[in-house]
Structure 1
């Protein structure tokens, strides 16, 4: 739901009543993941999507009904083998949705309004809502901020709020959206109730080292994927905002020195496009010893082999060097800067999502799968 924070926060400020359907869980091939949302107001205005179009009509009706009844519900949609035109996901998966009315007297309105305000303002926060459990608790929520302060409540046992807040904080620290199983008294016994925890965190960082034409194309691609993009180069004549209009910031500094003074985390992407040993080696020595989701370096295979020798001479271990994607990018036969940027972000997405990079045609690998799933060989 927080993906619609800007629009829904405005609806709250205008006093609109609406119902929001949020993806709770998916199985198989479903187009949108947990946290994706669709909202409908009293006038019938629709924003968002939960399935890429497969079940939106039926979800619209469920939202209108929730507005009339004032009751939150959970619904499941799946594929219909008997009727290709029946309400269902024709891609073959299943999707569970939590439909929550946000009306003037709704118990969930306080927490949802606070969560939408925080997300719209770019503040980190986590919203925990009861997605499965006693009917009286369904849809109720609480907002948790990084300092541990809580707004709203789940309306059950006091220990439930405390445990829910602790679980939401843990997912917020990890920047994750997911579900948590609890018992109604707040313990972790399965079978009690399910919380949907949606985390709002700042966008992940992409730091591009090397103010070259490939970097300009990569900055555009990174912004398209939702990254906060920084371009860094030691040469002030090349590292200018005019040359990189799509970057959020352009830094003039030696790459390794900048990396030492800036923050990275488990979502950060580092792309080294300098392919010059005097920049690459000290930079990668620093990069490979700090948290990052992806570290890649541009260059020919000969450049990579020379770089590998130099990095080993700096004392990097096999485990540290195994984190390096070099030469960077998937084999797309790319030639132009734009094609090269596409090959790089394709590898970043594949690494993040556990993709194989092979064509889907002729492959039996699930289209939507979790990182670590083993690909199955293509049918001969």
Structure 2
């Protein structure tokens, strides 16, 4: 769950109307979402709104129905177990079961709490929701929410711009480095941490974790400079765009690269036959999702 979820929750609470927060607390077997997946919904005077997802389909429709009922009855909390076994009365055929907790959030203190959670996650901090904050008073363990990875884009050109726009849609925090001020001023980087200068400025975010770095530089000399600095502060993931010939040249120029950055992923991106900056961005994001969700290493060159 990312900072934007809690930021939107805070804005909804500012309207004064109560909000129901639904949280997946436990799962068994094959399910679309796992522990920690959340959505909130609010019923206004003329319309209803929601943000987030606990799995979509009939599962989510059931959760929303119960959430609306909780708000209408002015209840504080509720719980629902959803069967996905494929039986006639089940909500799906995935094969598992999902337990969802419902909690009513309302008032200035709830809004302040949502804003504080959003700020902490945006700053790269891990936060915890106490059981009574997500409708699970019977559970002893809090819900730990880790920050989304920071995506460091080295090279603010067309591919970097396309990647930044799409990465924000799936929650990545952003940082972008380039020596060209005009490129860094692009609207795609409006919410990013700007690192203006040569590769040495990368040290300014060395403490950020999880940190995914992608090298999209216009020349291989910039790749070399960035890799030398990143070797001092090895990110959780490092990928480099370029042809196999360019990648081989970089590896040849940095004989200690395999020791300092043994998991360098290059050429970067899933092989989709991508050509345009937007297509290249999709191939890169697909690779980042694969690494993040499956922790799947790349195939050696």
TM-score (ref. length: structure 2): 0.78
Query: SS where residue 101 of structure 1 aligns?
Result: strand
Query: What RMSD over aligned residues (CA atoms) do the two structures have, in Å?
Result: 3.4
Give 5+ residue unaligned stretches, structure 2.
none
In structure 2, distance between residues paired with 1:222 and 1:18: 28
The alignment status of 1:92 with 2:95, answered yes or no, reads: yes
Give the conservation status (yes or no) of the 8 Å contact 1:231–1:251. Answer: yes
**Match of 2:280?**
340
* Cα distance change, pair 103–70 in 1 and its aligned pair in 2 (3 A): farther
Give the conservation status (yes or no) of the 8 Å contact 1:264–1:291. Answer: no
* Cα distance change, pair 90–277 in 1 and its aligned pair in 2 (3 A): same
The alignment status of 1:245 with 2:183, answered yes or no, reads: no
Q: Mapping of 1:1-380 within 5 angstroms?
A: 4-33=5-34, 34-41=36-43, 45-48=48-51, 49-67=53-71, 68=73, 70=75, 72-83=77-88, 86-102=89-105, 112-119=110-117, 126-130=127-131, 139=135, 193-199=139-145, 201=147, 204-236=149-181, 239-241=183-185, 244-248=186-190, 249=192, 250-254=194-198, 256-274=199-217, 276-312=219-255, 315-318=256-259, 320-354=260-294, 371=295
Give the conservation status (yes or no) of the 8 Å contact 2:63–2:80. Answer: no
In structure 2, distance between residues paired with 1:211 and 1:65: 48
What are the superposed Cα offsets for residues 229-288 of structure 1, whole Å, 9 maximum, x if unpaired? 33322345x6352xx32013554411x211123335332221112263422223102213
Kindly indicate which of the two structures has a greater share of residues assigned to helix.
2
In structure 1, distance between residues paired with 2:187 and 2:74: 50
Give the conservation status (yes or no) of the 8 Å contact 1:223–1:246. Answer: no
In structure 2, distance between residues paired with 1:326 and 1:6: 36
In structure 2, distance between residues paired with 1:216 and 1:42: 37
TM-fit CA distance, 1:57: 3.4
Give 5+ residue unaligned stretches, structure 1.
132-136, 141-153, 155-191, 355-370, 374-380
TM-fit CA distance, 1:14: 4.0
Whichever of the two has the greater Rg, that structure is: 1
In structure 1, distance between residues paired with 2:196 and 2:207: 18
In structure 2, distance between residues paired with 1:46 and 1:214: 34
TM-fit CA distance, 1:97: 0.5
TM-fit CA distance, 1:302: 1.8
Runs of 4+ in 1 over 6 A off after TM superposition: none
Query: RCO (CA 8 Å, sep 6+): is it higher in 1 or 2?
Result: 2
Give the conservation status (yes or no) of the 8 Å contact 2:153–2:176. Answer: yes
